[in-house]
Amino acid sequence: MKAPRANRYRTAWAGDFRAADVGEEIRVAGWVHRRRDHGGLIFVDLRDRSGLLQLVFRPDEAPEAHAAAHGLRAEDVISASGALAHREEGTVNAELPTGEVELEVHAVDVLADADTPPFQVDEEEPVGEELRLRYRYLDIRKRRMTEALALRHDVARAMREALSAEGFLEVETPMLTRSTPEGARDFLVPSRHQQGSWYALPQSPQLFKQLLMVGGLERYFQIVRCFRDEDLRAERQPEFTQLDLEMSFVEEDDVIETCDRLLEAVLAVAGIGVSTPLERVTYDEVMLRYGSDRPDRRRGTEIGDLSEAFRGSEFNVFARALGDGGVVRGLKAAGDFPRRRFDDLTERAQGLGAKGLVWAVVEEDGWRSPVAKFLSRDEIDRATDSLGARTGDAILIVADRAEIAARVLGALRADVAPPAAAGQHDVFWVTDFPMFEWSEGESRWDPLHHPFTAPVGDLDGDPGTWRSRGYDVVMDGWEIGGGSIRINRIDVQRRVFEALGIGADEADERFGFLLEALRYGAPPHGGIAFGLDRIVALLAGRDSIREVIAFPKTATGWDPLTDAPAPVGDEQLRELGVSSRPRKGGR
Ligand code: ASP
């Protein structure tokens, strides 16, 4: 940090003093981190954002300051002046950058008193999340939070610098807008002037960035807040931040290579080196090998296809699955597998939609498994070999439709695979996604990305066979970015809407502005958005994005600090032309 201008509160940052500064007359300001009374002497660790500095109050040399120090409590705000001195022999603290020095205080001003804080700022003892968020400003005083927010700043700056250097322009897009479908519910804002009409907060700036491309801007980016009213999930926040970007006259390679350079610069902020070009893996391959489109590949185990090993098998379960066009896939796991664990895994597999789970333990002379008696020795050996399993390993097998086998084994893999080694990272692209997935619940196609993604395939044929020009980036088991080459032709856009069950009238009503823009010369374009919160959490080594957001909400979307959301008065609702009839559970 640049040195502050010397004023009545401070002449320098407390954390910056070293032995070479001894003898200087200085003034520092900050919070009472800790106070210790040693008979006559009082020691105070003063904290500002730069760090800690020990202050000494001596009764004989500065009786007034000493008396004031008596009354100091944790988190009081003070300014203290005096001379910087060496610490006495034997009291040097090697852990602290300022550990060789201390301030002999001559005078102290108490600038603000603090009540006893609800949790201690000077300790890393675990504090419940609700309490931390309720008093977030105290939580932010902790080193852990200050560091996370500083890293977040550095990441955002690296993004801005990397993209600016390549000619991208940062452009803001509206927060009060119309719905942008990204697969979640909208947050709505009522209009006072046009009662009965509502703005939607953007789920992403998707359509505006496409319009910027129609506007000839060529390269756009924005670090932008997005809002998605989703079902509660631990790793989601109703508002989150994206690095959003878009480019014109590009193909997949152009966007991906730009992002490789960008990610290299961003990861370097945390000292993480990656070799570029980042690896690209197709969706089909990643689903086959890991049963997930955002696997943590650092966790050794892979899924193997056993369909060939069991083709022609007389074991009913396998024969039926293969006969119906399904697959037999398996996973090997090392470790301790008492019977109960297999029962639990079987239950979990069934909960995820599998008809059952076949398990086995590899022994010297075959498998210990309830189904071993239905399998030939050849089948057993082929399956063991193709999974690379060794004596003592457990094997989990699902025979089902390919999507179900992938989903179930992917989930089981996450349960049984060994943990990733500390400090190891894995960043790669997933490409060649299907355009849609079938939503059983809604009986319709849902886009894997969003409806503006360019499809590939026979557009007159079955939408289930279309692929998309989408791509995702995965890091350490988290999807950190996703994007696509977009549709820039009106007929194709209409066809995709139609496949999604959005008729021409509805398309005109909801997306008329986009369809119209496509009539005025829309360049081929594509882009991507990265999840800033996730990236910073990964770089900071935190397991929750709430650790890297200054004022996050709880997993239920509640802000314990401001107590939002909150009811509003009748008058305010009347002005907006809104009446509210909460269902049970509202307030
Ligand atoms: N709008 C997309 C999203 O928010 C990203 C993109 O396609 O660029 O996921």
Average pLDDT of the chain to the nearest whole number: 95
Of ligand 1's listed atoms, the one at least distance from the Cα of 527 is 8
pLDDT at 586: 59
Q: Is 79 in the pocket of ligand 1 (CB under 6 A)?
A: no
List the beta bridge partners of residue 328: 399
Nearest CA to ligand 1 atom 8: 528
Q: Is 528 in the pocket of ligand 1 (CB under 6 A)?
A: yes
Q: Of 133, 121, 131, give the one whose Cα is nearest residue 49.
A: 121
Q: Which residue carries 């002999």 as its tokens? A: 104
Nearest CA to ligand 1 atom 1: 206
pLDDT category at 585 given cuts 50, 70, 90 is low
Q: How far is the CA of 587 from the centre of ligand 1 (A)?
A: 34
pLDDT in tens, 128-180: 999 999 999 999 999 999 999 999 999 999 999 999 999 999 999 999 999 88
Q: How far is the CA of 179 from the centre of ligand 1 (A)?
A: 14
Q: How far is the CA of 213 from the centre of ligand 1 (A)?
A: 15
Q: Kindly tell me if the per-residue pLDDT of 443 is higher than 90.
A: no
Q: Is 173 in the pocket of ligand 1 (CB under 6 A)?
A: no
Sequence-distant (6+) residues with CB within 8 A of 383 are: 306, 309, 310, 330, 395, 397
Q: Is 529 in the pocket of ligand 1 (CB under 6 A)?
A: yes
CB 150 within 8 A of CB 1: no
Report the run of H or E that residue 246 belongs to, with start and end: strand 239-248
565 preceded by a cis bond (ω within 30 of 0): yes
d(CA 110, CA 122): 19
Sequence-distant (6+) residues with CB within 8 A of 219 are: 163, 166, 167, 168, 169, 245, 246, 247, 248
Q: How far is the CA of 146 from the centre of ligand 1 (A)?
A: 30
Q: Is 182 in the pocket of ligand 1 (CB under 6 A)?
A: yes
pLDDT in tens, 11-68: 999 999 999 999 999 999 999 999 999 879 999 999 999 999 999 999 999 999 999 9
DSSP string for 142-190: SHHHHHHHHHHHHHHHHHHHHHHHTT-EE----SSB----SSSBPPEEE
Sequence-distant (6+) residues with CB within 8 A of 273 are: 267
Q: Is 483 in the pocket of ligand 1 (CB under 6 A)?
A: yes
CA distances (Å), 401 to each of 64, 307, 321, 362, 405, in order?
81, 12, 7, 26, 6
Buried b / exposed e over 453-481, threshold 16 CB at 10 Å, is bbbeeeeeeebeebbbbbbbbbbbbbbbb
Residues of the chain with pLDDT > 90: what percent? 92
Q: Of 24, 114, 269, give the one whose Cα is nearest residue 3.
A: 24
Q: Kindly tell me if the per-residue pLDDT of 584 is higher than 80.
A: no
Global pTM exceeds 0.75 = yes
Mutation probe of ligand 1 site: the residue of 186, 201, 203, 204 with most atoms within 8 A of C-beta: 204
Q: How far is the CA of 483 from the centre of ligand 1 (A)?
A: 5
Mutation probe of ligand 1 site: the residue of 168, 177, 182 with most atoms within 8 A of C-beta: 182
Q: Kindly tell me if the per-residue pLDDT of 263 is higher than 90.
A: yes
Q: Kindly tell me if the per-residue pLDDT of 229 is higher than 80.
A: yes
Q: How far is the CA of 204 from the centre of ligand 1 (A)?
A: 7
pLDDT category at 555 given cuts 50, 70, 90 is confident
DSSP string for 501-559: T--HHHHHHHHHHHHHHGGGTPPPEEEEEEEHHHHHHHHHT-S-GGGGSSS---TTS-B
pLDDT in tens, 231-253: 777 678 999 999 999 999 999 99
Q: Is 81 in the pocket of ligand 1 (CB under 6 A)?
A: no
Of ligand 1's listed atoms, the one at least distance from the Cα of 453 is 7
Helix axis angle, 532-540 relative to 252-268, nearest 10°? 40
Report the run of H or E that residue 139 belongs to, with start and end: helix 136-139
DSSP string for 73-93: -TT-EEEEEEEEEEPPTT---
d(CA 137, CA 77): 14
Q: How far is the CA of 232 from the centre of ligand 1 (A)?
A: 21
pLDDT category at 194 given cuts 50, 70, 90 is very high
pLDDT category at 587 given cuts 50, 70, 90 is low
pLDDT in tens, 272-309: 999 999 999 999 999 999 999 999 999 989 999 999 99
Average pLDDT over residues 353-359: 95
pLDDT at 13: 98
Q: How far is the CA of 305 from the centre of ligand 1 (A)?
A: 33
